Amino acid sequence: MIAIPAIDLREGACVQLVGGSYDAERVRVKDPLDALKKWRGFGFKAFHVVDLDAALGKGSNLDAITRLLGHEPGLTFTVGGGVRDTAKIEAVLASGASSVVVGTKAIEDTAWLAEVAGRFPGRVVVAADVKGREVVTRGWTAGSARDVADVLAALEPLPLGGLLVTAVHKEGQMEGVDLPLMQEVARASRHRVYASGGVTTLEDLRALADAAAHGAVIGMALYTGKLDAAAVAREFA
């Protein structure tokens, strides 16, 4: 399993939000490139970039994304946030992203998802943002009335690059992961599973690895120093 630092973009800065709430911003790094350089210095090679403003239709951080992806060759970036049409997928991949994360549109329009997954096999990652057991959309502000198991079943036949499963109810809390959820998803799906939400300790990471997660996205615990970045990188980078 690989550990993947999160670089969440808001108003051109790198931020960390508690529970995904825009009113609960806890960390802000003015230049996202500083965050990338910091985590790169510990040895991390894979990064998860999210345009929070685009996810909520409040703007774009494309300039910052372009700078991040062009900083150093050989790094792996998954990029998401507000990706809701084919042209945006093409643009993100053309900018140097290894894969593009699609959430709202993928959940709401399965025919479109099947089309783009077939067009870009192995490079479209579906974000299943889960609150309790319900998959939520539109920057976590809208419910889909769909249980995560039903969503997983619908995604199973597609040539995806993976599933990014975020336990929204754990996000930014630094109280541990929703291990039963991640175990269920890993058992139920043939796709690579990237776990997100609540990663706080090395034991959390080891438990996710034991659950057969392919990767774990880490945010708040790294940025606040709760999690020892050097120790994480030694074991999981």
Higher pLDDT, 129 or 100: 100
Catalytic residue among 8, 51, 53, 204: 8
Q: What is the pLDDT of residue 137?
A: 67
pLDDT score of 80: 95
* Domain coverage including residue 143: 2-236
Average pLDDT, the chain: 92
More confident residue, 132 or 194: 194
Annotated active-site residue 109? The verdict is no
Residue of higher predicted confidence among 146 and 217: 217
What is the structure's pLDDT at 19? 66
Spell 93-128 as b/e; 16+ CB within 10 A means b. Answer: bebbbbbbbbbbbbbeeeeebbebbeebeebbbbbb
Q: What angle do CA 215, 45, 89 make, to 5 degrees?
A: 70
Q: 150: domain CATH number? A: 3.20.20.70
pLDDT tens digits for range 52-71: 999 888 899 999 999 999 99
User: Of residues 23, 53, 109, 129, which has the active-site annotation?
Assistant: 129
CA geometry: angle 31, 172, 176, nearest 5 deg: 135
- Count of the separate structural domains present in the chain: 1
Determine the Cα–Cα distance for residues 43 and 61; give it in Å rounded to an integer.
Answer: 25
8 is catalytic: yes
Task: Give me the pLDDT at residue 34, please.
Answer: 98
* End-to-end Cα distance, the chain: 8
Distance in angstroms (rounded) separating the CA atoms of residues 30 and 15: 8
What per-residue confidence (pLDDT) applies to 20? 66
Average pLDDT for 190-219 = 97
Q: Is the pTM of this model over 0.95?
A: no
Q: For the segment 101-160, what is each residue's pLDDT rounded down to a tens digit?
A: 998 889 889 999 999 999 999 999 999 988 888 887 665 555 556 788 999 999 999 999
Q: How far is CA 189 from CA 139, 180, 212, in A?
A: 24, 14, 11
